[in-house]
């Protein structure tokens, strides 16, 4: 990918944002929570979307409610307060906007996003409208999805180059919609530190995060201050 930020952008981790938990301590140990974690699913209006008219977001955040075990689906389990009250006393909180890999859903990194919220972050992940979607946040595994088409599309993605970007730019549009939506939402908009916004992603989600961080200049979002990549595409 060309243009935008220098290569050093790839080395910026969350700590590079200067993001710290609500008590000012650096979130070094994600296994030791300081906060109870709330979990909520939000649907944003998305009439221009490639599929349907909504964009679904999964949101993890510090809460004052008591968490309990949650089976997200498949083999993914957590410990959260579903729709629990937001802890507004210890904000504002840094935000991570996370993009999943091709064909996945917002819960793809729940092991990480939930733990991050336990360290005093708000973590938001959209269900991207990929051509093939094996699973969705609200409805789980998709019956009848075309596994062969998924593998074919994944192979095409791995072989793609800058000239093929146009086919995947819908993901960057969805990241902007997700960020605009969460910042405008109640109660989250009022407790997000807009000076500490990071994006992250895995595989094709890494491409997505890089695009809004500046590697595709026309999609660069100036609100993004740091980036976290898992096995980026």
Q: What is the pLDDT of residues 75-99, one digit of tens each?
A: 889 999 999 999 999 989 999 999 9
Distance from the Cα of residue 91 to its chain's centroid? 20
Helix (H, G, I), strand (E, B) or coil at 103: coil
Tell me which of 206 and 52 has the higher pLDDT. 206
Q: What angle do CA 210, 211, 215 make, to 5 degrees?
A: 80
| CA dist 151 → 147, 160, 231 (Å) | 6, 14, 18
Interatomic CA distance for residues 226 and 6, integer angstroms: 13
Interatomic CA distance for residues 200 and 213, integer angstroms: 10
Which band of pLDDT confidence, cut at 50, 70 and 90, is reported for residue 32?
Answer: low
Interatomic CA distance for residues 74 and 92, integer angstroms: 33
Interatomic CA distance for residues 151 and 171, integer angstroms: 19
CB 83 within 8 A of CB 63: no
pLDDT for 135 equals 86
Task: Report which of 11, 41, 1 is spatially closest to residue 172, judged by C-alpha positions.
Answer: 1
Interatomic CA distance for residues 210 and 227, integer angstroms: 8
Q: What is the pLDDT of residues 140-169, one digit of tens each?
A: 888 887 889 989 988 998 898 889 999 999
Which band of pLDDT confidence, cut at 50, 70 and 90, is reported for residue 205?
Answer: very high
Which band of pLDDT confidence, cut at 50, 70 and 90, is reported for residue 125?
Answer: very high
Structure token pair of residue 217 = 């200049």
Q: Which residue has the tokens 């595989």?
A: 203
Q: Which residue has the tokens 């791995």?
A: 158
Q: Which residue has the tokens 């890999």?
A: 101
What is the value of pTM for the model shown?
0.84
């Amino acid at each position: 990918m060309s243009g935008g930020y220098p290569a050093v952008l790839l080395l910026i981790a969350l700590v590079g944002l200067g993001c710290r938990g609500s008590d000012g301590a650096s979130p070094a140990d994600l296994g030791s929570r300081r906060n109870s974690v709330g979990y909520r699913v939000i649907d944003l209006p998305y009439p221009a979307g490639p599929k349907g008219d909504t964009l679904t977001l999964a949101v993890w955040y510090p809460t004052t409610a008591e968490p309990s075990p949650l089976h997200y689906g498949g083999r993914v389990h957590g410990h959260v307060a579903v729709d629990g009250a937001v802890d507004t006393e210890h904000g504002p909180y840094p935000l991570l906007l996370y993009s999943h890999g091709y064909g996945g859903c917002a819960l793809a990194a729940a092991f990480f996003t939930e733990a991050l919220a336990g360290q005093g972050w708000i973590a938001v992940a959209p269900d991207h409208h990929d051509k093939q979607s094996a699973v969705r946040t609200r409805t789980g595994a998709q019956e009848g999805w075309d596994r062969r088409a998924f593998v074919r599309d994944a192979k095409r993605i791995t072989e793609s180059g800058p000239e093929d970007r146009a086919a995947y730019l819908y993901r960057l549009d969805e990241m902007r919609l997700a960020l605009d939506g969460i910042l405008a939402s109640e109660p989250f908009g009022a407790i997000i530190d807009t000076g500490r916004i990071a994006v992250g992603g895995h595989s094709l989600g890494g491409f997505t995060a890089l695009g809004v961080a500046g590697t595709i200049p026309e999609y660069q979002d100036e609100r993004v201050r740091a980036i976290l990549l898992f096995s980026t595409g």
